[in-house]
Amino acid sequence: MSTVAQEIDAEATAGNKTRVLAAGFIGNILEWYDFAVYGFFAPTIGKLFFPAADARTSLIAAFGAFAAGFLMRPVGAVLFGHIGDRIGRKKALTLSVMMMAVPTMLVGLLPTHAEIGISAAILMILLRMIQGVSVGGEYTSSFVFLVEHAPPHRRAFFGAWSMIGATCGILLGSAVGALINSFTTDIQLQSWGWRIPFLAGVLVAFVGYFIRHGIPDQPLAEELAEQEPSSPLKEAWTEHRTEMLQSAGLNMMNAVTFYTVFIYLSTWLVEEVGETRAEALDINTLSMAALTVLVPITAILADRFGRKPLLLIGSAGVAILSPALLRLMHHHNFAMILTGQIGFAVLVACFAGAIPATITELFRRGVRVSAASISYNIPFAIFGGTAPMVAAWLVKATGNPLAIAWYLSGIAAISFCIILTIKETKGCSLDE
């Protein structure tokens, strides 16, 4: 091959890899932007859609609706897992991003309890459930797609871009939340300000759709098309039961830590520490920015040294350091709070950078999306979606704002023990 032809081929390959990364990245921005915005505006949504005499009761109800969306994630995992394994990864990715866009827009247009009574709460929960189905297919489909298209020595780095998209989405949601809080009064925020982030999210959806519509599908499309119709989930459970249970155990810690630290604590800082909402969102935005920078670094380390060392460091760190980090954040001091939350960000990055590649490499091709989706989304449904609600309940029940640290530590300790049983997947063949 001539030098010119080789250069053209190299440029085409680089262009395809860039588009693959963008496709895995962009959809997760919308998915997690929306969930983040809901979490950040939960106190306002609680007052408008779940009014109660006690503000904490309204907040718990709002986080209950948040949890309802997560409880639908296993449904999305089954649906999009089947689509991804039997029709193709591209179809699952394209459908999931559009399935998120419509409910996001409708949340921004939804009448409140004062306008239509209890129907407002019911409609809010239904929309969150539809979004939960979409998220159940989005994240796992995207990281499987990315890892399968990655060079063998860069799988963790490629897979981490799904997580980078998620953190960028939450970062964007946090930044938009901080901006809205800075430029609106409390009355304006409750009247119309909270709607703006949801309506604006539709723009991200259409960008994601057009990027994903033009991506190449995974190279095994013909192989899948020749298979007899069957249930990939049933096959996955038969062939990979141990690995699915290990993946679920690993993601218990992932779910609880992520949604407690980066969703609930922004509300906790306002309700329990006395920070202004704008300050709390500023802190969350900075810590999410740190996480976004740290995830690709830990993914590179996972590609070099293996997945398990990073997973063990992250889980052990959360188990041991959560009480100290949360105590550091329980001060009316911006620098101390930020230091504590960035400490959590470092620990989260350790397992966030390694998890996508680990889960993908545990399962064979024909059942990979289904196995990854179910083993990822069930613990997120049970532990992730309920984490803010459990945290709020623990604070209320014990009267101790630091009680949630022991929940974080306990879950992380369980996951640490499970990680010890997982085989090292670095360097394994994805075709086996």
pLDDT tens column, 27-43:
778 777 877 788 778 88
For residues 323 and 205, the answer to whether their CB atoms sit within 8 Å is no
Q: 144, 156, 158, 165: which is closest to 34 by C-alpha?
A: 165
- Residue 2 tokens read as 């001539």
Q: Which residues of the chain have pLDDT under 50?
A: 1-12, 220-222, 225, 228-229
Beta carbons within 8 Å of 85's beta carbon, 6+ residues apart: 224, 232, 366, 367, 368, 369, 370
- Residue 182 tokens read as 């800075």
Residue-wise pLDDT tens digits, 381-399: 889 878 888 998 999 899 9
The confidence score (pLDDT) of residue 216 equals 59
Domains in the chain: boundaries? 17-218+230-419
CATH of 17-218+230-419, one of 1.10.3210.10, 1.20.1250.20, 1.10.10.60, 1.10.3720.10: 1.20.1250.20
The confidence score (pLDDT) of residue 89 equals 75
The confidence score (pLDDT) of residue 413 equals 97
Q: What are phi and psi of 332, to 5 degrees?
A: -85, 60
Q: Hunting for tokens 């969102």 — which residue is that?
A: 281
